[in-house]
Structure 1
Amino acid sequence: MTPRPFPPDANRSDRLPVIILAGPTAVGKTALSLALATELQTDIVNADSMQVYRFMDIGTAKPSPEERARVPHHLIDVVNPDEDFDAARYLEYARPVVNACHGRGKIPLVVGGTGLYLKVLTRGICPGPPSDPAVRRALQDELESRGLEALHRRLLQVDPEMGRRLHPHDRQRILRALEVFRASGTPLSQWQSRHRFRDTLYPSVKIALHRDREDLYRRIKRRVLQMMEQGFLQEVKDLLARGYRPELKPMQSLGYRHLIRFLEGAVTLERAVEEIQRDTRRYAKRQLTWFRNDPEFRWFPPEDHPAVLRHIRAILSTLR
């Protein structure tokens, strides 16, 4: 039976719930999200940090045009690859979408593997000094002259907790952490400790998907090969032809930076593909660690669609 929708109520739309479907890359979120959204008669809101970019379709594993035609999708293709986009901007874009769904009596299904985006959507964002263009430009100059490794070492000195928390290749967050410290004199880890994400912007039903590790790794290997067959290399060439520089944040993301290295002659294509598969496995492990650190997630195998649906309906019934 289709669940009764929440009645539209503009006065309390920000307290209506969201359903979150999370999990590592290649685990099977897209297929399950389409089935759930269809049964729940709701919209899908993207929470993948790469699917927000236009012209980056294959390497980000966006839902196909046919899949997007089946269920309304939001926050896909909202910015160009040379535009800044972070968790704060995600929240700025996502809240009106979620509130609009609530206004139509729908409980949106938020789907993705970017844990920070999911966290700020439900718990708010850590306050901090606004972005300082002069400081950011100075850091960009240092990045180009000294490299990301040197900036990460600097972060370990001024904010050891944040430096240990961030991956050495996480360019955007390393730059932001250094920017916060230079602008305020206070480490970003201290700003976050004060906030502790205690806000509750939306009550949520949190679902995380898991697979046997070897099964997940096989799926990752197969997905990368399928991306190459679908034209991933040509997609990278087209982005470069459009004038998007290799050092841009999205161009340095998983898969794109590897194929750029091939095009620059640094590695063979076979080696680039192997490195994409290896680094995707590593990324999936980091995603799993993030979601396992949140006790609010209830874990399911992606094939157990009926159990997921029962759990969602049971939790929603307590929120009405």
Structure 2
Amino acid sequence: MKDVILIVGPTGVGKTKLSLILANKLKSKIISADSMQIYRGMDIGTAKVSREIQDDIKHYLIDVVNPDEEYNVSNFQEDAFQIIDNLLLKGQTPIVVGGTGLYINSLVYKLEFGNEEPNEEYRNKLWRIYEEKGSQALLDLLKSKDPNSLQTIHGNNIKRIIRAIEYNHTTGLKYSEKNDNFREENKDYNFHIYCLEEERSKLYERINHRVDEMIDEGLLKEVESLISKYDKNSISFKGIGYKEVVDYLENKTDYDEMLRLLKRNSRRLAKRQYTWFRRDNRINWIDIEKYGYDFEKIAEYILRDIDE
């Protein structure tokens, strides 16, 4: 049986901690499904595991490209399945960990992605529209071109809104019709999907604390170093944890406002992630508080559940 474990959930809930325990117990490897951890040098703001941990437990799809290079869900899908198949051939159970919903969906559903070339010039134009006029201007543009896309794309998911408009502009086709089989389950593998959850106010408090820790660990210096090497208009710098700091470093906001936005946007991301994963009724939800925040017990439960 092609068993694949997926640990999903909102930012800051403890996915990494659980995955490391499972990897140790199963003597297996971890595949990251985080659309920001693919970028080299973006370590603190994406909460990557340390080099020491990576030396101990192999992590795939971390540090794949530079921040100014293109890497999309189609690339992820191709790379992830190749790694999954190689691990299965070795008799190891792949452990996929992350909160990027579209990355997860590219594995558990039969999604097909075209190979159209990115239109960087048009994409940058759309980002300028967003920065100057806000998200509603993009939503209005998408509505005029492909209103059905608005049913599957969250209004705050600016990256995907831009992607849908760019796809229509480049190909003349509608993004909403790209995957008519968006909900056709991939039954080539036996996916065991677990989503970690926590009472919302407690999770938000944890996220606020994590942002403070990132600042203490040197997030500002990390971003300052990165924008000295790479184009700050690259899509990677639009990610939460980076766009807020870039604005601060360019004196568009003050320190307190940067910190407020970092925390607010991280909490909003967690809310969107919950909403995304609620759509899939195959997911087994695990309330970490009910286990007393004991991730060893959660790992034991998952292994028992898979055996059964």
Distance (Å, rounded) in 2 between the aligned partners of 1:106 and 1:252: 36
Q: How does 1:166-177 map onto structure 2 within 5 Å?
A: 166-168=153-155, 170-177=157-164
- What CA distance in whole angstroms lies between the structure 2 residues aligned with 1:132 and 1:175? 15
Give the match for residue 192 of structure 2.
Answer: 205
Distance 2:87 2:56 in 1: 17
Contact residue 111 and residue 181 of structure 2 kept, 8 A: no
Question: Which residue of 170, 176, 186 corresponds with 1:189?
Answer: 176
Counterparts of 2:22 and 2:128 in 1: how far apart (Å)? 48
8 A contact 1:26–1:216 mirrored in 2? yes
> Which SS does the other structure have where 1:192 is aligned?
coil
**Distance change >3 Å, CA 223–CA 141, structure 1 → 2:** closer
1:251 equivalent in alignment to 2:234: no
Superposed displacement of residue 246, structure 1: 2.0
Residue number among 73, 78, 99 corresponding to 1:92 in the alignment: 78
Alignment of 1:229-308 (within 5 A): 229-242=216-229, 244-302=230-288, 303-305=293-295, 308=298
Decide whether the 8 Å contact of 1:126 with 1:197 is kept in 2. Answer: no
Distance 1:209 1:85, change over 3 A: same
What runs of 5+ residues in structure 1 fail to find an aligned partner? 1-14
Question: Could you say which residue in structure 2 is the equivalent of 1:11?
Answer: none
CA contact (8 A) 1:171 1:249 kept: no
Tell whether the 8 Å contact from 2:21 to 2:296 is kept in structure 1 after alignment. Answer: no
Partner-residue secondary structure (3-state), 2:102:
helix
Question: Matched residue of 2:5: which SS?
Answer: strand
C-alpha contact 1:53 1:77 (8 A) present in aligned 2: yes
With 263-272 and 229-238 compared, the bigger mean Cα shift is at 263-272
Q: Deviations over 1:42-86 (max 9, x none)?
A: 111101110111000000000112222331111110111111111
For 1:250 and 1:207, how far apart are their aligned partners in 2?
Answer: 28
SS in 1 for 2:104: helix
Which 10-residue stretch deviates more, 186-195 or 226-235? 186-195
* Letter of the structure 1 residue corresponding to residue 71 of structure 2: F
Match of 2:303 in 1: 313
The TM-score, its normalising length taken from structure 2, stands at 0.89
Look up the SS of the partner of 2:63 in the other structure: coil
Contact 1:127 1:195 in 2 (8 A): no
Q: Could you tell me how far apart the structure 2 residues matched to 1:306 and 1:239 are?
A: 37
Which runs of structure 2 are paired with 1:152-167 in the superposition (5 Å)?
152-163=139-150, 165-167=152-154
The residue type paired with residue 11 of structure 2 is T
TM-score by length of 1: 0.86
Unpaired runs of 5+ residues, structure 2, are none
For residues 201-245 of structure 1, the C-alpha deviation after alignment (integer angstroms, 9 at most, x for no partner) is 422111110111111011101000000000000000000111x22
CA positional deviation for 1:118: 1.0
Distance across 2 between alignment mates of 1:58 and 1:266: 22
- Give the equivalent residue in structure 2 for 1:4: none
**What SS does the corresponding residue of 2:97 show, helix, strand or coil?**
strand
Higher mean C-alpha displacement, 305-314 vs 273-282: 305-314
Indicate the RMSD between aligned Cα atoms, in angstroms. 2.1
